[in-house]
Amino acid sequence: MKRQRTNPANHHQEKKHRRHHPLVWLVILSATIPSLTPSLGVAQSDTPPSPTITPSTETYRESAVDERKERQSPEKNLPITPKDSQVKAAKKGDPYVLEFNRSPVVGTRFSLRGIYDEARLGFTKPREWKLKTVKALIKYRHSPALYATRSNLTVMLNGASLGSIPLNRKEGEIGTAIFDVPLAQIQNYNQVTIAALQNNSPTCTQDPYDPSLWTEILPDSKITFDYDPQPIELNFNQYPYPIFDELSLYPNQISYLLPEKIDSQWLTTINRYQIALGRIADYRRLNTRLIKTITEVKTTERLVIIGTPTQQSAIKSLKLPIPIKDNQLLDEKQKPLAPDVGVLILTTTTENTTPILIATGNSPAGVAKAIQFLVQSKDQKIGTGQSILVKTLTTVPSPPAREWPRYLPLKPEFKMGELTDRNNQPLKDITVRGSDSPPIEFDFRALPDDKFGPNNFITLNYSYGPQINAKTSLVEIKLDDVALIGKRLTSINGGNKETLRIELPPDRIKPTSKIQVDFRLDARERRSCSKVTDQQLWGTLHNDTSFKLNRTNSVQVPDLKLLQYGFPFGAPQDLSNTAIVLPKSPTIEDMMTALEFSARLGRLSQATSVQLAAYTADTLPQEIKEKHHLVGIGTQKNFPFPEIFTSEGFQLKETSTRQLKQSNIQTTPDNDGVIKEIISPWNKERERVLIALSGQTETGLEQVQNLLHQDPLFYQIQGDTVLISANVAETDSNNPNAYNLKFLQQERKEELEKKPLPNQFLQLIQTSWFLLGPAMIAATLILYGIVQLYLKRVAGQ
């Protein structure tokens, strides 16, 4: 829930909320979130009648899947027929109740203060819902000092008023109001606004900041949806739906079917796809698990099957639009498809309750090409139909290592219009209105390896309207809520394209920084009781506001705090310099840890492709080992890089032994998770890192998974080693308070990238050019003195 002190008629600026949170699906949504987009050379799409399935109406409670599946001959998959194109809707379920306290920004209380205040709450409408009725129940209590005839609460949905409530309750009395929501007002992305007008006098309120002006919306207020579930169309023109629903009010749940044999190619494809899902998910919840048979899939999940018919024999038992014979996929002439052709299919379980995505082919190369089509955002956009044959695929080159979308441009000078908003759109001119307008805020995110010197400036270009009080109106610039400078607005006739140059402190520009421009506008004339007439007051920040930065790229590792931004694994952003390495025979917990790490990297990176590779310990090429950032996964006994536990700092040893420098202890049991980072010992340039996701037991790996999965835990990490333990034996994996984190910094830090001496000299010249003139003059004078001294000595001889 976000609170704004702004005029009720003007909602020009909303605070951005980029931090991920387990329940941050309930946030202010003013525009659609960009979906995954991938770049195809030639793709062939088969378009039979698009079948649909009916979603489950169960509210994500544990439900057993009917195991009485209709078995078929393993070599005769049942083809899709026209009568399979529509499945009857499931039986109507219970209404869905959306409580306000499910939003992390609401918490346990939600207050409105002052003469006028408002707050907003966002929610989505799932695609497969056909709404019948929607009701909003608002529970509230307010200050006994409010004057009933001049105080009210107004509820709005997407800008349309649902009704008003007089604030006339007695002290401590809880009020309840129910509003019928017009179905025509419900959109995919919706915003509920609750506005409070509060006065404590029958004539006028003298002090707008009187602490007695308050109303609280109770967190058990709710919105109730009565709906009928609708069939789901299986068509790639809606991808990532129905595999991932960006509008879902539930966490998206993905199950991967394990193949009969785990190899490096399968590990690479599944982790690349998980990274792509992480990018789509962004701040939304994504739950993942691995299953051994199709009968284990739940009706609330989406199933993904990756592999050839030989690797995934279950494919042959499903309804497919492409025939299979002798474990070979056939074309329209009943001949086997070429080995390098990728095949993508959307289908369902035999009960038509769960959507299934199949990425297959007649060889692992074909399977890899099918997945690569989905993870390359430009290619994926052209997909349609129920099945796709990917015959050729454009190779997407890796972006430069320091070209990170959503971060500052690499140029030393750039304009505000080159920055983007949370929807990846270029920033435009922004106008705010009113005497108490919210600040204009935009991201100013430095790259994780940016190091700033002195002389960083912002040249603010702004305009403002007439009717202001020149003595009390100003514009204020803040960096991460810390005021840098303010300037009075001196023209009573308004200002046009005025400028203000501000120096940015080099030690305060961070990868999470935001700049706020706050117009504090005061009217020249006031009404009685000091009530401000502010409809005519406005200020505009122009997108030709310019920046000049003096920076180099320098960072010291190991430092797990950098992992909060995906660094260094996200350099470049397609993850082409990163390799995940699992034990020779990985367990389910090993693979689940890899998937959680991949999902996290997906959330932290933005690129048009994914090039991460995954290996088992016995298949890791020596060249990859020497040239890539490495992510080792496994318990201490099976860890693929035991060298990390023989280096300096914290060590895990056999028989549940721990060692820190000369201290050595043995524990029983040791169920803690461990994350440790060191400089890769195999990289000669000392430019790559090795990170361990480990523990003495598989329970320890589960703790690592929980840290990677939960934002409140993940955004605490620091040092070079993190020890993760649970407070109680039976923990709620979604409760961040159920875990203890301990941080160690034992390894000696080194520069990740060391520049050659000539480059350092050139960098010094570039950053200190203003000293070049005086230095040349000084050098000339010194040389002149030496020459004169020499000439005098010659003349004396």
Higher pLDDT, 478 or 57: 478
User: Of the residues 229, 251, 277, which one is the last residue of a structural domain?
Assistant: 229
Tell me the pLDDT band of 787, cut-offs 50, 70 and 90.
confident
For residue 518, give both structure tokens: 């706050």
Question: What pLDDT shows up at residue 792?
Answer: 79
Tell me the pLDDT band of 402, cut-offs 50, 70 and 90.
very high
Same domain, residue pair 267 and 332: yes
Judge whether 334 lies within some domain: yes
User: Of the residues 549, 564, 590, which one is the last residue of a structural domain?
Assistant: 549
Output the domain CATH number for residue 501. 2.60.120.260
pLDDT digits (tens, 9 = 90+) for 373-395: 999 999 999 999 999 999 999 99
Nearest to 770 by CA among 452, 459, 455, 504: 455
Tell me the pLDDT band of 656, cut-offs 50, 70 and 90.
confident
Same domain, residue pair 220 and 103: yes
Tell me the pLDDT band of 752, cut-offs 50, 70 and 90.
confident
Q: Tell me how far apart the alpha carbons of residues 713 and 280 are, in angstroms, rounded to a whole number.
A: 21
Instruction: Point out which residues pair with 442 in neighbouring strands.
Output: 515
Q: Tell me how far apart the alpha carbons of residues 718 and 714 are, in angstroms, rounded to a whole number.
A: 10
Nearest to 485 by CA among 493, 495, 473, 477: 477
Q: Checking phi first, is residue 434 left (phi over 0); if not, alpha (psi -120 to 50) or beta? A: left
Are the C-beta atoms of residues 700 and 589 closer than 8 Å to each other? no
User: Of the residues 229, 249, 275, which one is the last residue of a structural domain?
Assistant: 229
Nearest to 576 by CA among 375, 409, 381: 375
Query: From the centroid of its chain, how far is CA 731?
Result: 25
Judge whether 540 lies within some domain: yes
Tell me the pLDDT band of 716, cut-offs 50, 70 and 90.
very high
Same domain, residue pair 114 and 255: no
Same domain, residue pair 519 and 618: no
Tell me the pLDDT band of 771, cut-offs 50, 70 and 90.
low
Query: From the centroid of its chain, how far is CA 655?
Result: 39
The mean per-residue pLDDT over the stretch 689-714 comes to 95
Question: What pLDDT shows up at residue 379?
Answer: 92
Cα–Cα–Cα angle for 510, 511, 514, rounded to 5 degrees: 70
Q: Is the pLDDT of residue 555 over 50?
A: yes
Least confidently predicted of 393-397, 451-455, 510-514, 775-779? 775-779
Q: Tell me how far apart the alpha carbons of residues 172 and 174 are, in angstroms, rounded to a whole number.
A: 6
Q: Tell me how far apart the alpha carbons of residues 552 and 762 are, in angstroms, rounded to a whole number.
A: 12
- Domain region containing 764: 757-796
Higher pLDDT, 646 or 197: 197
Average model confidence (pLDDT) for the chain?
A: 84
Beta strands in 336-386 (DSSP E): 342-348, 355-361
Q: CB-based contacts of 291: which residues, under 8 Å, 6+ apart?
A: 255, 256, 257, 258, 297, 303
Q: Tell me how far apart the alpha carbons of residues 560 and 718 are, in angstroms, rounded to a whole number.
A: 5
For residue 453, give both structure tokens: 């010197």
Which residue is associated with the tokens 């020596």? 622
Same domain, residue pair 520 and 597: no
pLDDT digits (tens, 9 = 90+) for 16-31: 333 333 333 333 333 3
Please count the residues of the chain: 797
Are the C-beta atoms of residues 356 and 348 closer than 8 Å to each other? yes
Which residue is associated with the tokens 């941050």? 24
Which residue is associated with the tokens 């704004």? 4
Cα–Cα–Cα angle for 503, 504, 510, rounded to 5 degrees: 175
Same domain, residue pair 381 and 495: no
Strands 129-142 and 430-433: unpaired
Same domain, residue pair 590 and 450: no
The mean per-residue pLDDT over the stretch 96-109 comes to 72
Judge whether 352 lies within some domain: yes
Same domain, residue pair 478 and 614: no
Number of domains into which the chain is organized = 5
Nearest to 518 by CA among 477, 548, 552, 564: 477
Tell me the pLDDT band of 92, cut-offs 50, 70 and 90.
low
Same domain, residue pair 196 and 276: no
Least confidently predicted of 25-29, 335-339, 667-671, 685-689? 25-29
Strands 629-633 and 578-582: parallel
Judge whether 178 lies within some domain: yes
Q: Is the pLDDT of residue 49 over 70?
A: no
Give the rounded percent of residues in the chain with a pLDDT score beyond 90: 63
The upper half-sphere exposure of residue 711, i.e. CA atoms within 13 Å in the direction of its Cβ, equals: 16
Higher pLDDT, 4 or 781: 781
Q: CB-based contacts of 340: which residues, under 8 Å, 6+ apart?
A: 361, 363, 365, 366, 369
Judge whether 400 lies within some domain: no
AA letter at 532: V
Are the C-beta atoms of residues 263 and 271 closer than 8 Å to each other? no
Least confidently predicted of 196-210, 265-279, 584-598? 196-210
Higher pLDDT, 354 or 624: 624
The mean per-residue pLDDT over the stretch 219-231 comes to 91
Same domain, residue pair 564 and 545: no
Question: What pLDDT shows up at residue 699?
Answer: 93
pLDDT digits (tens, 9 = 90+) for 259-308: 999 999 999 999 999 999 999 999 999 999 999 999 999 988 999 999 99
For residue 368, give both structure tokens: 């890899």
pLDDT digits (tens, 9 = 90+) for 501-552: 999 999 999 999 999 999 999 888 766 564 555 668 999 999 999 999 999 9
Judge whether 515 lies within some domain: yes
Question: What pLDDT shows up at residue 765?
Answer: 54
Same domain, residue pair 445 and 488: yes
pLDDT digits (tens, 9 = 90+) for 111-132: 898 888 888 888 999 998 999 9
Judge whether 119 lies within some domain: yes
Judge whether 399 lies within some domain: no
pLDDT digits (tens, 9 = 90+) for 308-323: 999 999 999 998 999 9
Question: What pLDDT shows up at residue 60?
Answer: 39
Q: Tell me how far apart the alpha carbons of residues 233 and 235 are, in angstroms, rounded to a whole number.
A: 6
Same domain, residue pair 481 and 541: yes
Specify the pTM.
0.84
Output the domain CATH number for residue 327. 3.30.379.10
Are the C-beta atoms of residues 447 and 402 closer than 8 Å to each other? yes
Higher pLDDT, 252 or 104: 252
